[in-house]
Chains A and B, each alone.
Chain A
């Protein structure tokens, strides 16, 4: 796989706790989370809404520190983690005053890299991300699917070996979402970053993942770790296979007992 400096490709959480104060009450968001994403692995995190998935990602990427427990990146605890991992949220969070091309080079720009070189690479990747011909469009003129692809290209161009994707397709309609899942797998098979993907869609989880973690509702813990042995490249036919159905059933049972 491609490897970038100033980046890490392995994520490990060990016994991570996090609590918040809400109206004077103490709410435990994470009650000891253990989780690993190895280099080049596609890991999906699934759980009921409000189980602390976003808190977990915020801790991993360094926006928050855990109350106790450790975040290990490439096996080492890292204090200032911001900028080491790619991060993408459900909202596309594009800068409305920037055209597509200038939006996607935000990462290199923040790292102080040459804007012109970044633009050239972005232009080269536009067709891969289905954005060819829209380099000079403002986000407000794009469809939801295209905005999300733009956000993904921006995350991609941050040149990180590991990416955290927080329900990136959550706001899209089923058809667009399915198209983007296939397309994401295609991109990932070429570049092989480590991906930690959060969703609450069981089909999405099984279809995408090498491994799925199921989280309990508050306080969030990992209650199930499930390997997905389906062969790659994945195809839509697999969704109707018995292997897929079995895995899906295990996840649903685990989620329903929440």
Chain B
């Protein structure tokens, strides 16, 4: 029964299914994953190997440019130090992200609610992003002290903008025909918001969140540079002043790895929450 329907349905849309059929059938899932992730991994690995070989050949001193292996060794040796610093940076990042989510989503909703507020707030939001964070960070320390708050604010300042803009745009681009259809069905404004515009804005929100996540850890590090007693940023400054270049690189590596892990976590969350967004015909109609 099911098979008959499959055939009937694929006969109805010959174009899209024939495109799917043209793809080389790879069969198993592990093979498909390998096909997707192997190229970037190979590229990364070759770059590191080139770097390693380059430092061997040129015999460049360690304080000028350490090799990848030296960076790993330095990172492991300093792990007792790196651990607490990393934890501090992570705390700042998460608090800042949380703050930016609350403020960003609230602003997006407010701007969606009233066109007047949208016109009033938008220029201000853009202006907030033109302020050089490096110049602002010392002021934040003057105002809020050496505690965690100024760093959290820097992270939030960096992160809230993509969240506001993407969410507000996502709410705005709801298909007008769909909104009209719901109105014709007798839906009120609240129903249209919760049934159409809000769920439709979620993919766009995630796009903004992915941008925000990639900036967030760097934001915390910048906040620490200006003045802190703990954190990856201050660890970098201290190491750099002592010409411990390998440690600077180790801290940079930790920063990147944290950012990547958080990014991947958001991507996985998105995949779980938005199965429909990734649903396509060719994924469902498999050839037998």
* Residues of A bordering B, CB below 8 Å: 58, 61-63, 82-85, 87, 89, 91, 93, 95-98, 106-107, 109-111, 132-134, 137-146, 158, 173, 175-176
Contacts and interface: CB of A to CB of B under 8 A. Distances in A.
A141 B283 CA distance: 8
Interface in B253-288: 274-277, 279-281, 283-285
A138 B183 contact: no
Interface of B: 1-2, 5, 9-10, 12-13, 16, 175, 177-178, 180-187, 191, 195-196, 199-200, 202, 274-277, 279-281, 283-285
Contacts of B280: 140-141
B2 A110 contact: no
B183 A82 contact: yes
B287 to A, nearest CB: 15
Contacts of B175: 93
B199 A58 contact: no
Contact of B184 (A61, A145, A176): A61
29 contacts: A61-B184, A62-B184, A82-B183, A82-B186, A83-B185, A84-B186, A87-B185, A93-B175, A93-B177, A93-B178, A95-B195, A95-B196, A106-B182, A107-B185, A110-B182, A110-B185, A110-B191, A110-B195, A134-B5, A138-B276, A139-B276, A140-B276, A140-B281, A141-B284, A143-B13, A144-B12, A145-B12, A158-B185, A176-B12
A63 B186 CA distance: 10
Contacts of A175: 12
A142 B178 contact: no
Nearest to A82: B186
B250 to A, nearest CB: 43
A2 to B, nearest CB: 19
B191 A63 contact: no
Contacts of A110: 182, 185-187, 191, 195
A251 to B, nearest CB: 28
A89 B181 contact: yes
Nearest to A151: B181
Contacts of A58: 180
B191 A137 contact: no
Contact of B10 (A109, A140, A143, A176): A143
A110 B188 CA distance: 8
5 residue pairs, one from A and one from B, having the closest CB atoms: A83-B186, A138-B279, A143-B13, A143-B12, A87-B184
B174 to A, nearest CB: 11
A95 B277 CA distance: 11
A96 B177 contact: no
A141 B279 contact: yes
A158 to B, nearest CB: 6
Nearest to A86: B185
B275 A138 contact: yes
A49 B98 CA distance: 52
Contacts of B195: 95, 106, 109-110
Nearest to A88: B181
A147 to B, nearest CB: 10
A173 B195 CA distance: 31
B274 A97 contact: yes
Nearest to A91: B177
Contacts of B285: 141
Contacts of A111: 186
Contacts of A176: 12
B276 A96 contact: yes
A107 B184 CA distance: 10
B276 A63 contact: no
A63 B180 contact: yes
A133 B5 contact: yes
A176 B74 CA distance: 67
Given A133-B5, A140-B276, A143-B13, A85 B184 contact: yes
Contacts of A109: 195
Contacts of B274: 97
Contacts of B16: 143
Nearest to A111: B186
Nearest to B275: A138
Nearest to A140: B279
A125 B184 CA distance: 23
A144 B94 CA distance: 44
A192 B12 CA distance: 28
Nearest to B16: A143
